[in-house]
Structure 1
Amino acid sequence: MNDLLAKSALELADLLASGEITSVELTGACLDRIDALNPRINAFLHVDREGALAAAADVDARRAAGEELHRLAGVPIALKDNMVARGMPTTCASKILGDWRPPYDATVVTRIREAGMPIVGKTNMDEFAMGSSTEHSAFGPTLNPWDVERIPGGSGGGSAAAVAAFMVPLALGSDTGGSIRQPGSVTGTVGAKPTYGAVSRYGLIAMASSLDQIGPVTRTVADAAALTEVIGGHDPLDSTSLDEPVGALVDAVSAVSAAGRVEGLRVGVVKELSGEGYQDEVLAAFTSTVEGLRAAGAEIVEVSCPSFDYALAAYYLIMPAEVSSNLARFDGMRYGIRVEPTDVPVTAASVMAATREAGFGDEVKRRIILGTHVLSAGYFDAYYGSAQKVRTLIQRDFARVFDEVDVLVSPTAPTTAFRFGEKTDDPMAMYLNDIATIPANLAGVPAMSVPNAVSAEGLPIGFQIIAPAHADLRMYEVAQLVETLSGDVAGACPAAQWEEK
């Protein structure tokens, strides 16, 4: 593997700024590794070699001319394939969009282009972000670089696998119920879900609008902080965007890294996010890191959030209801594929039915049917209305415990990566992978997963930090301390030894 690819994004940024390397050289190295490894792990659905190299050459020319550039200018990045990028295929890993090429950029894409970061391509995912394993992609599963017989998490397994396999130093994902953090946990990457509204959702193809949030996928906490500074901030094109600054996340992370301590920090261990269903090694790694936080000056407090026991059930009523509404636009009439039936008269209704039958996968259909049912007359109050009441209780539990502690911590996922096919026949078993990540989405608070340890089987384990809304900076400070305690887990990925043939 090219030595450059083992470096963090900020280390690469320093090399670019000093003139020791060029963006064309770095981007070419990423593209060569993608060409060599993607047939093996299927992390990318589309690679834009020409566009990425052109963007890299432009950055190099501007730097040579003495232009002042963004710190991450020239550092390559990948996008989850539910973020629109002008002229680049956007499929959401579904057949229904066909070869649709959007005529505009998502706000996060605009900001990445303005920062001078070459976009190397679009990554694989569960279809329309529905899944916990990236087994539900219409274009085949992504494999975990730690063990290719295991899942890379979902729905953003492609972005996580691309970063874990040293294909790119940075990627973007979207997190609706844990789709950045859970893949981060099982691939040994850092994944952050900012406060709801802190990063614009304009141009993110919606799954569940009140839950979706774009965030960074990286190998270090500092890189995640730097990327969040690029993509965050108010956007008038997004009605849910927060009108507040991102904050100096990288400076805060650097300060904690230098000190190795966060004095006076109150850390809450959530009673409901451990115990039955969690692997012994996951709990042991979590406990060890909590004790490390105590030794670094933190006060450890056990807290109880009783409503969290109902979070999974509430989520799987609210989310499908929003899915049913958001996916109604995919009808074979306006964009994407159009399938006309041959066995019945061609009408608007029959074309919609034939198109959706051919274009949507089983998991998407399952969630649309469930969501349509819970929104129907006679069931709305019993299901959707009750789930929203539980959501309010979860928000109140968060508000109560954040009066007592500064952050909450838990394992990110109850288990390490499972093998392909283990849970595809049991949707409930699959859904349980998100049991620790879902509460943060229901409340809109920031949360992130940091690599914590490696199991006896050689699989990564994640550690989750949850902070109050708008306290993303505090979350990053604690995450940096956890990373310092845990060491370079990401660098232990076996893919680091894979050679480009």
Structure 2
Amino acid sequence: MSQAPLHQQSVRELTTALRQRDVSATEVAQHFLDRSKAHPELAAYLALDEAATLAQAQAADQRLAAGTAGALEGLPLAHKDIFVTKDFASTAASKMLQGYRSPFDATVVRKLADAGVVTLGKVSCDEFAMGSGNENTAVAPVGAAAAAPVRNPWDASRVPGGSSGGSAAAVAAGLAPAATGTDTGGSIRQPAAFCGITGIKPTYGRVSRYGMIAFASSLDQAGPMARSAEDCALLLSAMAGPDPERDSTSLNTPAEDFSLQLNESIDGLRIGVPAEFFGEGIDADVRTAIDAALKEYEKLGAKLVPVALPRTELSIPVYYIIAPAEASSNLSRFDGVKFGHRAKDYADLQEMYVNTRTEGFGDEVKRRIMVGAYVLSHGYYDAYYLKALKIRRIIANDFQNAFKDCDVIAGPVAPSVAWAIGEKANDPVANYLADIFTLPASLAGLPGMSLPVGLGAGGMPVGLQLIGNYLQESKLLNVAHRFQQATDFHLQRPAGF
């Protein structure tokens, strides 16, 4: 068994120790529960239930003793509060769903449970996954009386990234060995970069969206967040696979073991470097860390190849037309009738709808609903929404042209390191611009991931983004893993954690 404390061990180390009975699932779960309760200042968790978690851990111990253990038996994991769960409230960090209990588990939750995972609790996110800093949350974290933004473990005055900021902060601080996240426009990759961990957004449709509270249905995709590419490979192997009976957008692609190709040589690998990712707007400290990472890849035998993604700058207006349009449709179900928040004061049905949605949704959610309703309205559908769909196709074609000359594409995850909490709170456009490098892959439905490659201004982590062609998750994880075998950035931890 590794001599490192449990919260400093990898998913591989923990599952090996559990299988060898060096430690019990109950002991591991209790360790992480204690750490999570000991660090309320990060505001990472929205829900903990010690009894429910320990009951799952005890059941895992029984399976381990009986020799019927799953691949991840006894591993504790935190779920982003965008996945519905039977044992924990599912709120999407919104007042609209505060206290809501789902009668079923999301497919991702069920598949991980089938593999033996123990749920630690639900972690914070931007409301309905809408945000880049995890400041748009309306539900009070564990141990607090009022809603509060998640804080970055590397510097508590800074954001952890969004919308999966709770997931990233929990993993970075050792409050969970791994967590689930969702990525609509970069919400796995950007918080992973800001918190110095690894995260992967699979090809759209690789992982079932059933039970994932919808934001933008043609963009939302679930993925794992953990310390390393190896950890992400083990988790994604349990999460991925078709779900035709519940999710019509899931791909009919069999589940696979994403860890099988981790150690393959990358000698001769062609890494595409798009000029559009290295122009004006990228901070010097981020550029320095990314350039150093690319040089490390050259030492490992890879070749850097210039490629073009000429519509990169169009990804922001395209995304912020398509995503709000889909959000305005998806969020129309929250009207106070069947479930969720309902206003107390109203005179008629129309007023109940208006008051409920006014009280239940936060400012950013309202902003996106209004933008979405506008671009879908008569007279503007063709001018905005339909045109955005056409440009989305062109962006996807740009990637296919680039992949003719390279195997993977590399660049920064974000133009800067994590910013101060409140710095961009009153400037939504500044938040949107922070997603410029992650949006193109989301619009194209391509797999992308972030891995830590150094520290920038203020000692804050910098993430390298790797983008692959469709269904090339194994290749991405291999490329990331070989880098992590040669460097130790993924092993660095924030002080005090």
TM superposition score category, shorter chain reference: over 0.9
Per-residue deviation at 1:154? 0.3
Letter paired with 1:442 = L
* 3-state SS, counterpart of residue 458 of structure 2: coil
- Distance, in Å, in 1 between the alignment partners of 2:443 and 2:224 is 19
Provide the residue aligned with 2:141 in structure 1: none
Provide the residue aligned with 2:199 in structure 1: 191
Provide the residue aligned with 1:263 in structure 2: 267
Letter paired with 1:89 = A
State yes or no: 1:148 paired with 2:156. yes
Letter paired with 2:312 = F
Matched ranges for 1:466-481 at <5 A: 466-481=467-482
Per-residue deviation at 1:48? 2.0
Matched ranges for 1:196-345 at <5 A: 196-236=204-244, 237-253=246-262, 255-256=263-264, 261-342=265-346
Per mean C-alpha deviation after superposition, the further-off stretch among 485-494 and 163-172 is 485-494
Is residue 190–residue 224 contact of structure 1 (8 Å, CA) maintained in 2? yes
Letter paired with 2:254 = P
- Distance, in Å, in 1 between the alignment partners of 2:117 and 2:209 is 19
* 3-state SS, counterpart of residue 434 of structure 1: coil
Is residue 247–residue 473 contact of structure 1 (8 Å, CA) maintained in 2? no
Provide the residue aligned with 1:23 in structure 2: 25
State yes or no: 1:359 paired with 2:367. no
Per-residue deviation at 1:2? 8.0
- Distance, in Å, in 1 between the alignment partners of 2:313 and 2:63 is 54
Provide the residue aligned with 2:143 in structure 1: none
Matched ranges for 1:380-399 at <5 A: 380-399=381-400
- Distance, in Å, in 1 between the alignment partners of 2:298 and 2:492 is 26
- Distance, in Å, in 1 between the alignment partners of 2:464 and 2:456 is 13
- Distance, in Å, in 2 between the alignment partners of 1:356 and 1:227 is 37
Write out per-residue CA displacement over residues 397-426 of structure 1, whole angstroms, 9 at most, x where no aligned residue: 011111111000011111001001111111
- Distance, in Å, in 2 between the alignment partners of 1:423 and 1:103 is 37
- Distance, in Å, in 1 between the alignment partners of 2:386 and 2:204 is 21
Letter paired with 1:41 = L
- Distance, in Å, in 2 between the alignment partners of 1:380 and 1:495 is 52
Identity of aligned residues (%): 44
Is residue 451–residue 490 contact of structure 2 (8 Å, CA) maintained in 1? no
Is residue 171–residue 197 contact of structure 2 (8 Å, CA) maintained in 1? yes
Letter paired with 1:63 = L
* 3-state SS, counterpart of residue 144 of structure 1: coil
* 3-state SS, counterpart of residue 251 of structure 1: coil
Is residue 453–residue 486 contact of structure 1 (8 Å, CA) maintained in 2? no
CA 490–376 in structure 1, closer or farther in 2 if over 3 Å, else same: farther
Provide the residue aligned with 1:499 in structure 2: none
Provide the residue aligned with 1:104 in structure 2: 104
Is residue 71–residue 116 contact of structure 2 (8 Å, CA) maintained in 1? no
Letter paired with 1:243 = N
State yes or no: 1:5 paired with 2:7. yes
Select 2:168's aligned residue among 145, 160, 170. Answer: 160
TM-score, with length taken from structure 2: 0.96
Write out per-residue CA displacement over residues 123-149 of structure 1, whole angstroms, 9 at most, x where no aligned residue: 101100000000010121000000000
RMSD: 1.3
Runs of 4+ aligned residues of structure 1 deviating over 3 Å after TM superposition are: none
- Distance, in Å, in 1 between the alignment partners of 2:354 and 2:493 is 48
State yes or no: 1:403 paired with 2:412. no
CA 327–3 in structure 1, closer or farther in 2 if over 3 Å, else same: same
Letter paired with 1:385 = L
- Distance, in Å, in 2 between the alignment partners of 1:384 and 1:490 is 44
- Distance, in Å, in 1 between the alignment partners of 2:268 and 2:26 is 46
Provide the residue aligned with 2:142 in structure 1: none
- Distance, in Å, in 1 between the alignment partners of 2:211 and 2:496 is 32
CA 206–267 in structure 1, closer or farther in 2 if over 3 Å, else same: same
- Distance, in Å, in 2 between the alignment partners of 1:340 and 1:375 is 31
- Distance, in Å, in 1 between the alignment partners of 2:163 and 2:32 is 23
- Distance, in Å, in 2 between the alignment partners of 1:116 and 1:309 is 43
Provide the residue aligned with 1:52 in structure 2: 53
State yes or no: 1:375 paired with 2:376. yes
Provide the residue aligned with 1:113 in structure 2: 113
Matched ranges for 1:28-39 at <5 A: 28-37=30-39, 39=40
How many residues align? The count is 486
* 3-state SS, counterpart of residue 207 of structure 2: coil
Letter paired with 2:106 = A
Is residue 43–residue 158 contact of structure 1 (8 Å, CA) maintained in 2? yes
- Distance, in Å, in 2 between the alignment partners of 1:397 and 1:406 is 14
